[in-house]
Structure 1
Amino acid sequence: MNFNIRPATKVDCKDIIRMIMELAVYEKMPDQVKISCEELERDGFNQNPFFGCLVAEVPEEDGFATVGYALYFYIYSTWKGRSMHLEDLYVMPQFRGFGIGKSLLSAVAQVAKEKQCARLQLSVLDWNTPSRDFYAAKGAQDLTVKEGWHLIRFDGQSLDNLANETQKN
């Protein structure tokens, strides 16, 4: 199958938000998506973007159709330095098995290396065996198993409560 991987542009946000919803349905959490196309445009395509994104496209009669995306952002490790977090890697089901996901992942890794990142990390749901197997086949380590790390999150009321705590003298 003929496809192309390229950096996303602001114009791609409508397709990216569509695929974010498709991924959320697959992950059985469609009600968790609260982001809008306008927020993606604002946060990813300004002078100081919060994230980077690559898209996969296939030829279509009137141009190209966007069939996958990889959304990432930079983080910092006090042990290793510059690092990258892959938030989403998604390919529409009918386009899987043609190397598009592998090419997206490889392209993200290239960006990480160009930016001198020591790590590329991501999270995968425990029941998502196909994705876990895919990443393992590419050499990824499962830190939950290997090192016992757990992903911890504050959001909503717990984030508000934490932000509102003050140190008492």
Structure 2
Amino acid sequence: MTKESNKELSSEQREELVKVLKARFEKNSHRHEGLEWAKIEAKLEANPEKLWSLNEMERTEGEPDVVGYDEKTDEYIFVDCSIESPKGRRSICYDRAALNSRKKFPPENSAMDMANDMGVEMLTEAQYRALQELGPFDLKTSSWVQTPDNIRKLGGAIFCDRRYDTVFVYHNGADSYYAARGFRGALRV
């Protein structure tokens, strides 16, 4: 289902994306205190396939930014930091099984399929809560998060949002979809 079989960016696209990512990194230093852009940029240049995934995050209006560094794996962690759930990833159900089960008015795609096509991981509940420590996100929208197997086997899926200065975790049928619900991705570089 990948729309683009070529997962490489032109040198101009890479340059423009790195410029956008650097500007966002510098503007939002509270998200990644103690991290240096030069080291992140070197990692990006050494991993062009990750740049393609970051471009997909950007193209779908996720506004990816660095939110951490994993010392054990020597990887920087990028997460969608758009204030609301990314516009280019809304009105989708949870996964392929849910999409296939829709008899009437199926959505165009599912969150898990889109994440896979983009080369990113959908956030877990813990990652979503960690993101909320960096600022208020999803005040008007909501985001699907990885759902435990026991819930998914029963037909459900979970999503999160922030209301009343509190992060809420809710459930819905995995086949449901709403104009204000999408998903946020994470990418390790």
- RCO higher in structure (CA 8 A, sep ≥6): 2
Q: Give the structure with higher Rg (CA).
A: 1
Normalising by structure 1, report the TM-score. 0.38
